[in-house]
Amino acid sequence: MRLCEMEMLSCDLKRTGGTPLYEQLYEYIKNEIIQGRLPFKTKLPSKRKLADFLQISQNTIDTAYNQLVAEGYLEVIPRKGYFVMASEDLEYIPKVELTEKQQEQERMYRFHFHPSQIDTTSFPFASWRKLAKQVIDVENNELLLLGNSKGEYELRKEIANYLYHARGVICTPQQIILSAGVEILLQQLIGLFKENTIYGVEDPGYHLIHRILKQYPKQVFPLSVNEEGLAIDELEQSKINVVYMTPSHHFPYGNVLSVNQRVKLLNWAVGSENRYIIEDDYDSEFRYIGKSIPSLQSMDQFNKVIYLGSFSKSLMPSIRVSYMVLPNQLLKIYEEELSFYHSTVSRIDQHILAKFIRQGMFEKHLNRMRKVYRQKRDIVISTIRACTDQISIIGGNSGLHIVLVVDNGMTEVELVKQAEMSNLKIYPLSSYRIVEKESTLPEIVCGFAGIETKKLEEAIRSLLESWGL
């Protein structure tokens, strides 16, 4: 018997367990080839002979051999048999066991204060499951096909109706484009503007926007933020054509762009044909004092505002449903030049969400979550104020995060490090800046929505203790 046949005999097949015999044999032979123990052009035992040696069926051998042939490890020559076809000059990468460090995907912190986290315990699973069953039905088999490139009309219609009543946004379903994340929508927007377009972004602000723009690359200028929101005077003195901003709840400070500044901003946009404002209304649903701040788009009389919205905060980040409302002149360009873009959101998810909104479940969910997040905000603020007077709070009137200004003698780096040592994850405000700025006191962006209500006081106290407060 040849050496390769003897090697085959060493295969220890486990006849109990979940792995089929053919798969065990396939893996064994493949590994022998990869390790070089079965060299190029080596003839393998016949199916009958190998089946007799291993005491398994020829069908099992046949299945394993055929899989190896399909992947190019073996070649079958009529009337001669199976031969190793993996050439000796191929470079193989053997499978190695990952170390514990390599296997770790993400450190599990005791408490994670990320500003984008939400409360997952309050999600209406039963309602969503009921709607999903209605949508996922054989009668809706057409949902397995591609739909409208802008997104499902049913959902765009519901969004248009919701935006009008909740945010004062005036638009038609035709003006709404759906996609999986604001990041993708922004990339599409860049395709609508001229190559020489100059962009302006809030500083500090949503840092991912700046990173996306620089990837193209585009000219991007940071614009400072004051107590009234974006510094419009800086914008007016610049050569910026398109400005990205969060006027109703600045990220991360929480400032609201005053009505006077909004008028100045809209007047700036009217000053040139190629000027536009991108309004990111990322968490407008959650305001705890007074009424919701009207959208900037609701004041726009000259079609200069591009409105961006998302269900990440209001519903769940994983659904990845975001949308933009295009002014008619940009919509025309989009339909002429960018119609090849196809909605990246599942049609099934779109129809579930449309039903969720249409049947009043979304409004009910929002009302509930406002109470939940208001309670969490109150716990955070009251705990901090009860423990120390060395922290001032910015932006507590709305949203799912606040900014902590810490006056305990530590630097921003030291605050982050001390929290890390206590297994707590926090985010320095400097990570959201484009231009480094010397600050008299360090600032920390503190998200509270993703921490359980019953554990939130403990989380805040743990954070303060790590800082010696």
Domain ranges of the chain: 3-84, 111-118+364-466, 125-362
Q: What is the pTM of this model?
A: 0.77
Q: Which of 96-105, 259-268, 351-360 has the lowest mean pLDDT?
A: 96-105
State residue 455's pLDDT score: 96
What is the structure's pLDDT at 97? 54
Just give the CATH number of 125-362: 3.40.640.10
Instruction: Please give the pLDDT value at position 352.
Output: 94
* pLDDT score, position 22: 86
CA distances from 329 to 26, 164, 272 (A): 60, 20, 14
Pick the residue with more confidence: 266 or 140?
266
C-alpha 402/C-alpha 282 separation (Å) is 15
Half-sphere CA count of 318, side-chain side, radius 13 A: 4
| pLDDT tens profile 49-92 | 888 888 888 888 888 888 888 888 888 888 888 998 866 555 54
Run of H or E including 219: strand 219-226
Q: Which residues contact 208 (CB under 8 A, 6 or more apart)?
A: 183
CATH of range 111-118+364-466; options 2.40.30.260, 3.90.1150.10, 3.90.320.10, 1.10.645.10:
3.90.1150.10
Does residue 181 have a pLDDT over 50? yes
pLDDT(102) > 80: no
pLDDT, one tens digit per residue, over 370-421 is 999 999 999 999 999 999 999 999 998 889 999 999 999 999 999 999 999 9
**Spatial distance between the Cα atoms of 417 and 462, rounded to a whole number of angstroms:** 14
* CATH fold of the domain at 3-84: Arc Repressor Mutant, subunit A (1.10.10)
What residues contact residue 463 under an 8 Å CB cut-off, 6+ apart?
Answer: 111, 113, 419, 422, 424, 426, 446
Model confidence pLDDT, tens digit, residues 48-57: 888 888 888 8
Residue 22, C-beta contacts closer than 8 angstroms, at least 6 positions apart:
60, 61, 63, 64, 67
Q: In the numeric block, which tokens belong to residue 108?
A: 């599990």
Residue 457: band (very low, low, confident or very high) from pLDDT cuts 50, 70, 90: very high
Quote the DSSP letter at residue 398: B
d(CA 28, CA 37): 11
Cβ 415 vs Cβ 442: under 8 Å:
yes
Give helix 347-358 / helix 153-167 axis angle, nearest 10°. Answer: 40
